[in-house]
Structure 1
Amino acid sequence: MFVDESGTHGGPHPFVLGAMAIHEDDAALMQKALDDLVVRHLSRVPVNLEEYELHASEMRNAKKPDETRTGRASIWANVDRPLRLALLADAYKLVVNFAPTNPKLPIVLFGVAVEKAFHSAWSEQERERFAYEVLLGKFDVMLKTLRRRKLPNRGLVIHDRRVVAERDIQSWVTAWRATAERIGQLRNLADVPLFADSRATRLLQVADLVSYAIFRRYNAPANDSTAFDLMWPAFHTESGVTHGCVHYTPSYRQGACQCAPCEQRLKAEAARSAKPSGAKLSTKEPIGPTSRTRIRTRVLHDAREGE
């Protein structure tokens, strides 16, 4: 699974993790498909193809250098913005529509968005730790499910470089592999997360696309769900319910958040709450305001998510 984060800079925005899980048989195919996409949009094969990194924020906002700016100029600054945006949109579509070698092992997306107001007393590190715990827990559960289906795989996590946080993340995962905390013990990872420069692999760049789409969806000034809506079908789903993307906000318990991830959590809770009495609730039916407010009981699934 390839992971990237967004929202580490200061401000009121949420902290976001985005990830793509892909089988090893498909890794090279995805890389080549993305390289070919860049070449097609540039209408040439640049000698420095790897420098044309699919970094969503940079592609949207790259500006030509001038004497007043310092630092490295973006290579995308010399590409017309309409072309950059078209390439970015096609990259999202390519990821969502990617055909895996084994249809039983498709690419799967994961995402976690933790609002600042969620446990507002938490420090930034506590908020990030919680997000990583949820993300890796969901990946671990997916691997366990595959094992039960006679498709055993150990997971390896590769993260974009975070020099100031790498040791913290690895120590957290070491602890979670040794003992259960809020989400349960991680039993299906091959090792602690490894870190690499996103310029070295398009697969980390896909993780950036995912995290940026989630960030744009939940960052109030932008509130742009275009890319998020496009990627939504690719988030991990079991039994008709999308578990792979989670939004943590105080509005959830108040029944006020109507985003797709919160709606899916509410439907899953309602279905589990109804099951002991024999009642059934279709996860495809919309939940109205009354039901949204009524569903408040914490169930085992949510306890594992650590809210």
Structure 2
Amino acid sequence: MYLLYADESGTTHDSNQQYFVLAGFCVFERQGYWISDQLDQIAARFDPADPVSVELHGSPMLSGRGKWRSYPKSDREKAIEDILQVFLQSHPSNRLFASVIKKTVVSPKDPVEVAFEQLASRFDRYLIRLHKNDNTQRGIIIFDKSTYETTIQSLATDFRTIGYSWGVIRNFSEVPLFLDSKASRLIQLADILAYAIFRYFEKGDSKFFSIIQSRLDSEGGIVHGLHIQQ
């Protein structure tokens, strides 16, 4: 089974932000431990006695909000880069997926709905490609519980029964699950991946996105894992 850990970056209601991003990465069920262990080691730089208490989130780390204020910016930026390198160096089957929505373009539609449809369908099609290569797998999407849970649960149910714009989701074993990011390094990684993509489109800052861009789901030179609506 493949697990897609996903999170959003940007908000739907802030008029000062142009973009909303929903992004995540899929990981084979037995590979998550290695990634979590690597992220624990990065967190330990900031609290060796209690690394579990250190939450890795892109925006507060870069801006120095909260407890991150006490650490030099260079250390915080290096930690973000190293976190992204952990994903970059992980197993090739771990793929990055992202939906980037310019909010004014889809208005009055809910950007969460548009982004989730794209993310879910692209993950589903990745599983279809695996099946065609004699590697049949099922998938589950796992979100931070602070994400738009009610909207996404409703959409996921509709996609499995009624369908989405290109068909019906066929390879998910369950509707999306929601975890507390405090308890999951993999959700924290999804947050930082989404933030890296958001900064690229919202701020024109490619520093972090350039590290992970090559891990967008692709096949035969065609990138399937990135949807941009702008």
How high is the TM-score relative to the length of structure 1? 0.70
Match of 1:10 among 14, 18, 33: 14
Amino acid at match of 1:117: T
Question: 2:89: which partner in 1?
Answer: 97
> Which string of whole-angstrom CA distances, capped at 9 and with x for unpartnered residues, describes residues 72-119 of structure 1?
xx2222222211111111111121112x3xx6xx21110010102323
How much does 1:196 deviate? 0.9
- For the pair 1:58 / 2:60, whether they are aligned, the reply is yes
Question: 1:109: which partner in 2?
Answer: 96
Question: 2:181: which partner in 1?
Answer: 198
Return the alpha-carbon distance in structure 2 between the equivalents of residues 127 and 183 of structure 1.
18
Amino acid at match of 2:128: K
How much does 1:33 deviate? 1.2
Number of positions where the alignment pairs a residue of Structure 1 with one of Structure 2: 225
Return the alpha-carbon distance in structure 2 between the equivalents of residues 167 and 38 of structure 1.
31
Return the alpha-carbon distance in structure 2 between the equivalents of residues 118 and 51 of structure 1.
40
Match of 2:27 among 22, 28, 32: 22
Amino acid at match of 1:29: W
> Which string of whole-angstrom CA distances, capped at 9 and with x for unpartnered residues, describes residues 228-265 of structure 1?
1111100100111111011111xxxxxxxxxxxxxxxx
> Which string of whole-angstrom CA distances, capped at 9 and with x for unpartnered residues, describes residues 159-209 of structure 1?
01136x312211111110112231321000011111111111110111111
Higher relative contact order (CA closer than 8 Å, sequence separation 6+): 2
Return the alpha-carbon distance in structure 1 between the equivalents of residues 111 and 73 of structure 2.
35
Question: 2:153: which partner in 1?
Answer: 170
Amino acid at match of 1:118: V
> Unaligned 5+ residue runs, structure 1?
64-73, 250-307
Return the alpha-carbon distance in structure 1 between the equivalents of residues 151 and 103 of structure 2.
20
- TM alignment of 1:1-307, pairs within 5 A: 1-8=4-11, 9-11=13-15, 12-39=17-44, 41-42=45-46, 45-47=48-50, 49-63=51-65, 74-98=66-90, 100=91, 106-120=93-107, 122-123=108-109, 126-162=110-146, 165-219=148-202, 222-249=203-230
Return the alpha-carbon distance in structure 1 between the equivalents of residues 227 and 209 of structure 2.
13
Structure 1 counterpart SS, 2:165: coil
Which one has the bigger strand percentage? 2
Q: Tell me which structure has the larger Cα radius of gyration.
A: 1
How high is the TM-score relative to the length of structure 2? 0.92
Amino acid at match of 1:6: S
Return the alpha-carbon distance in structure 2 between the equivalents of residues 10 and 119 of structure 1.
15
Structure 1 counterpart SS, 2:25: strand
What's the % identity of the aligned pairs? 31
Amino acid at match of 2:82: D
Structure 2 counterpart SS, 1:215: helix
